[in-house]
Homo-oligomer: A and B are copies of this chain.
């Protein structure tokens, strides 16, 4: 039984296979529109996350399948003291694949140990969120045409932002990428990522405090939110907050083919004046998230022996 709990569960080859499949889906939607006819996705969201949940649900629907589940722990059996393992075994009887979001790290891993169907981690605490990483990779691939040979700036809260950590790990497996880490001192990338990922692999990186000084170098800019409550004191927050808000002025020296990503939701860290700039990719990124989840679900269902309603030709495109 195959599950996706951590983005590092997937090899580079597997990731490339999924991204390739996602692109074939984008190019030929109709061919996949009944692939999951008669299949059911359960979305078990022990904490709310509309965007992620609706992305999974629309993905399954565009494959011709059905969706059931819950969107918060209030309306689940968790309130009656049922373990995540039991909930998973029960829901295994109702669905062919499960996307699980849980406030506790490790819950989806625990679920995968007893599940009769594939589990996809849709975010567990501050830990992992592998489909976000796949979404980011697909977006870079589609915007830049490649997953190697570029300079990426990661900006904002690099200390607590799980999507940033996963993305660094994922990109570190591709050739010739330079990382520019843009963050206030308090919110720098954790030391273990620097030493165990970047330095261990001899990957070039730079740490800076403002995006303006490096903007002209960037091929990709990955924005994240800087939450006020992360700062040690009010004075630092007030001094720094505008530094991490992207607006037209800060984009002045940017490359004309820069790709600006954001995992959303944003609060104010990207000015809405940027939204219609062709370099703003974050809404296309949302669309890519749907397609990459379609590809991932097809891959897991096939790996687990589910009968998919696809032509032999398309079936062969699903990575083993």
- The answer to whether B89 touches A283, judged by C-beta atoms less than 8 angstroms apart, is yes
Contacts known (A51-B90, A76-B50); A40 close to B66, Cβ less than 8 A: no
Kindly specify which of A20-28, A52-60, A142-150 makes contact with the partner chain. Answer: A52-60
Residue of B58, B71, B80, B93 near A287 (CB, 8 A) is: B93
The answer for the CA separation of A38 and B272 in the assembled complex, in Å, is 32
**B contact residues around A92 at 8 Å (CB):** 283
Hey, which chain B residues are within 8 Å of A286, CB to CB?
89-90, 93
A290 at interface, CB cutoff 8 A: yes
Instruction: Determine if A86 and B50 form an interchain contact, defined as CB atoms under 8 angstroms apart.
Output: no
Residues 104-133 of A at the B interface (beta carbon under 8 Å): 114
Q: How far is the CA of A286 from the CA of B86 in the complex (A)?
A: 11
A93 CB contacts on chain B under 8 angstroms: 58, 283, 286-287, 289-290
Give CA–CA (A289, B90) in the complex, Å: 11
Q: Closest CB of chain B to A82's CB: distance in Å? A: 4
Roughly how many angstroms separate A94 CA and B58 CA in the complex, as a whole number? 5
| Closest-CB distance, A34 to chain B (whole angstroms) | 9
> How many subunits of this chain does the assembly comprise?
3
For window 209-238 of A, CB contacts with B under 8 Å fall at none
B33, B49, B70, B91: the one within 8 Å of A38 (CB):
B33
A31 interfacial contact with B, CB 8 Å: no
* A1 part of interface (Cβ distance < 8 Å): no
In the assembled complex, A74 has its CB within 8 A of some CB on chain B = yes
* Closest B residue by C-beta to A89: B283
In the complex, the answer to whether A54 meets B81 with C-beta atoms within 8 Å is no
A72 interfacial contact with B, CB 8 Å: yes
A68 interface residue per 8 A CB criterion: yes
Contact of A40 among B51, B58, B82 (CB under 8 A): B58
Q: Of all chain B residues, which has the CB nearest A39? A: B61
Assess the B266–A82 pair: CB atoms within 8 A: yes
Pick from B49, B50, B69: contact of A87, CB under 8 Å: B50
Give the CA-CA distance A86 to B50 in the complex, in Å.
12
Cross-interface CB contact of A61 among B57, B66, B70, B272, cutoff 8 Å: B66
Q: Is A176 an interface residue (CB 8 A)?
A: no
| Interchain CB contact under 8 A, B72 and A74 | yes
Contact: A68 with B54, CB < 8 Å? yes
A-B contact pairs, 21 of them (CB 8 A): A33-B38, A38-B62, A40-B58, A42-B54, A48-B76, A48-B79, A49-B77, A54-B69, A54-B90, A55-B94, A58-B93, A58-B94, A72-B74, A81-B265, A81-B267, A82-B266, A85-B272, A86-B266, A89-B286, A93-B286, A114-B275
The 3 closest A-B pairs by CB, nearest first: A58-B94, A82-B265, A71-B75
Which A residues contact B (CB, under 8 angstroms)?
33, 38, 40, 42, 48-51, 54-55, 57-58, 61-62, 66-72, 74-77, 79-82, 85-87, 89-95, 114, 264-267, 272, 275, 283, 286-287, 289-290
